[in-house]
Amino acid sequence: MPLPPTSPDLLKDETHPYFLWWTDVTVRQLHQLLASPEALTRAYWMGAMLREANTRDVWIFVQPDHIRALWPHLLRHLGRSRGMWAFLLGLEPAEWPPRGIAHA
């Protein structure tokens, strides 16, 4: 049985999730963004959530297969949590930035 969310408010559509502290997106809007037909939109918001949220709260919004499917697009958004998510999902650790990309 999974752990409950860190706050029951994360189950309410009108809540502003703590992990999206820089924006006014609600839980309802996050669900919509994570269902976007645009892979890059889904990757941005999923990556932000994976980077900022307590891992037990992530499972309210996505399943492991959703993360695996977007993995190549997520890498740029995960920051220091990249290795942890690779480990949790049984994925090969990704080198970032990828070889051949110039550093700015």
Q: What is the largest CA-CA distance in the chain?
A: 45
φ, ψ dihedrals at 6, nearest 5°? -65, -25
**pLDDT over 80 (residue 90):** yes
Distance between CA 8 and CA 46 in Å, rounded? 20
With beta carbons less than 8 A apart as the criterion, state whether 52 and 41 touch.
no
pLDDT band at residue 62 using 50, 70 and 90 as cut-offs = very high
* Structure confidence at residue 16 (pLDDT): 98
Share of the chain above pLDDT 70, in %: 94
| Residues contacting 59, CB < 8 A, separation 6+ | 2
Q: Give SS3 for 3.
A: coil
